[in-house]
Amino acid sequence: MRRIFITGASSGIGAALALYYARQGDQLALLGRREAVLRALSDSLPVPARNEGDEGISQAVTQAPAHSIYALDVRDRQALHDAAHDFLRDGPVDIVIACAGISVGTLTEELDDFQVFEAVMATNLNATVATFEPFIAAMKQRGHGVLVGVSSVAAVRGLPGAGAYSASKAAVRAYCESLRVELGPSGVKVVTLAPGFIQTPMTAHNPYKMPFLMPADIFAGKAAQAIDGGISYRVIPWQMGWVARLLRLVPDWLYDRVAVRRKRKPRSSAR
């Protein structure tokens, strides 16, 4: 049994990862703002498998809740740290997945969008940092652990109408790369996942075509393989990996000509 801390567990990719790992017998901390949704998810998951040597475990412990839930806003750094320390009290943590994220259209000339821009950066980038912070010392001491950041193919080029989202996910990728090199000698791995288009509430109303759209449960299995392998950066599905490579090679003049016609994510107030 491994112990895994997952933000954004109440929906989409995070929920699919929670189900995947619970089926492997792992013990989870599930984070999101919607407590009732987290509780329903937790109640529906298989209970963690006991490790060898747990036979003598006390009745009180065997009756403890199988998975832990923490209803909080990931923009609240102290609340994240409190949740992490609470989960760490019951044992070391093997994998931390900073999956919480929001995607919303923004336009720089719309002054009201500045608050949205801040919310996107706070949720997608700053909260990734705050999610990892409390685990690093213990992982370094054990010489073991995986920190998982969630970037996006939207980070590869700046998408028109999604400046905040593209910038936040490019920042997540660069940040995770810095952290990977910093922690490499300690044995702690940093894995960056870059989803293409995955079927979740986030993409349910996208007004554009989504090539190679992948169900979230399939994504979760492939993501878990990358995490277990300590892969530094993995685009899923693999076809979008080739799209991403191509996008990087396309000269600006050609990218601009094609991207300007792309349908855009609608603007709205970030939650």
Ligand X SMILES: NC(=O)c1ccc[n+]([C@@H]2O[C@H](COP(=O)([O-])OP(=O)(O)OC[C@H]3O[C@@H](n4cnc5c(N)ncnc54)[C@H](OP(=O)(O)O)[C@@H]3O)[C@@H](O)[C@H]2O)c1
Cite the active site residues. 165
- 252 residue type, one letter: D
User: Which backbone phi and psi does 81 adopt, to 5 degrees?
Assistant: -65, -40
Could you give the C-alpha distances from 196 to 109, 156, 205, 238, 242, in angstroms and in order? 28, 11, 16, 9, 11
Query: Any contact of residue 264 with ligand X (CB under 6 A)?
Result: no
Stretch that binds ligand X, among 2-10, 61-69, 110-118, 223-231 (CB under 6 A): 2-10
Q: Does 14 bind ligand X (CB under 6 A)?
A: yes
| Beta strands 198-199 and 189-195, pairing class | unpaired
- 132 vs 270: CA distance, rounded Å: 23
What is the C-alpha end-to-end distance of the chain, expressed in Å? 35
Contact status: 134 vs ligand X (CB under 6 A): no
Report the C-alpha gap between 7 and 72 in whole angstroms: 10
Token couple for 154: 């939207």
Q: 242-264 b/e with 16+ CB inside 10 Å = b? A: ebbeeeeeeeeeeeeeebeeeee
Min CB(220)–ligand X separation in Å:
10
140 binds ligand X (CB under 6 A): no
| Beta carbon nearer to ligand X, 1 or 102 | 102
Question: Which of 69-77, 136-144, 229-237, 254-262 is the region at the interface with ligand X (rule: CB under 6 A)?
Answer: 69-77
Q: 32 — phi, psi (to 5°)? A: 180, 175
Pick the stretch among 40-48, 94-102, 133-141, 258-266 that binds ligand X (CB under 6 A): 94-102
Interface pick for ligand X out of 83, 148, 202, 227 (rule CB under 6 A): 202
Nearest residue (CB) to ligand X, 62 versus 239:
239
Contact letters (x/-) for ligand X, 144-173, by CB under 6 A? Answer: ------x-x---------------------
Asked whether position 106 contacts ligand X by CB under 6 A, the answer is: no
Q: Does 100 bind ligand X (CB under 6 A)?
A: yes
Find the shortest distance in angstroms from Cβ 140 to ligand X: 25
Return residues touching ligand X (CB under 6 A): 8-14, 32-34, 37, 73-75, 99-103, 123-124, 150, 152, 195, 197-198, 200-203
